[in-house]
Amino acid sequence: MELSRYRALSQALEERLRARPEVLGLIFLGSTAEKGRTPDDASDHDFFVVAEGREAERLRTELSWVPDEERLVFIHRETAHGLKLLYDDGHVLELAVFTPDELVWARGEPWRVVFTRGLDLEGMLRHNNAHAPPPSDPAWLVRQVLFQLVIGVSRWRRGERLAGHKIVLGEALPRLVEALARTAPRTGRDRADALSEAIAPAGGFIPPITGSDPFDPLRRFEETRPELGARLGSVLTMPVDQAGAELLSIVEEYFAATPLAVPPRALAVARAVLSP
């Protein structure tokens, strides 16, 4: 969506929701918040609506408050609180409607509170984000990747093409990206320096993701690490056994000499399994 139209839709959402007294607040998320990132042609509208009691469910089911409601071609009730709405031009609204009590489920970053009526939405979101479930331990991720590559490629070669593809590219690849997002340097930084920053003084691992989206390490990974992102992206066009071998090479290259290393003998066995 062109930027002026995008912002006009943002304004229309704000105006329509402000006009409803049962709406207690509106929060824009991600690109919609426009905090350090300008929406582009691929940006959806992501937002939370906070409403009183039973009125929250009414807002989820009666969509007259949505701008250009007549142009909606598909409505998907994704969760108890969340909806995805598709316009006839392909633009998507991703939203959730919460009561104040349900805001314990609300997490997102970055965010911008557009308006609020008597609620500390900033404080609630800061609390929720700070108390999100802990991320997976990077060492666990690397070990898991090794097993998924061996199992996935073996199944693919057996003829279980769908299952093998899912395990290697749908499970191992995202977990490897998550491990790399916590350890691999951004462009222009030395790998050893980046890793030393990630290791806690007591020898444990500090888990924050250093990519652009703390809730999804795959989002915009290519922007912060373009060379590594391009290399990982290239596996998507490979046969699954070749993709598995390339992902194992990345595991060896980035983790062989770190505290996350897989034992050399295990790597050698995995390499033998994945060899053409």
For the ranges 36-45, 194-203, 214-223, the lowest mean pLDDT is seen at 194-203
pLDDT of 134 reads 60
pLDDT tens-place string over residues 199-233: 333 333 333 334 455 557 777 788 888 888 899 99
pLDDT of 254 reads 85
Name the pTM for this structure: 0.69
> Which of 58, 90, 61, 57 is closest to 73 using CA atoms?
90
Domain boundaries defined on the chain? 3-130, 138-274
pLDDT of 211 reads 46
pLDDT of 192 reads 38
Domain 3-130 has CATH 3.30.460.10: yes
pLDDT of 140 reads 86
pLDDT tens-place string over residues 78-134: 888 999 999 999 999 999 999 988 887 777 778 899 999 988 888 888 887 766 666
Cis peptide before 135 (omega within 30 of 0): no
pLDDT of 127 reads 80
Mean pLDDT along residues 32-37: 88
Mean pLDDT along residues 5-19: 96
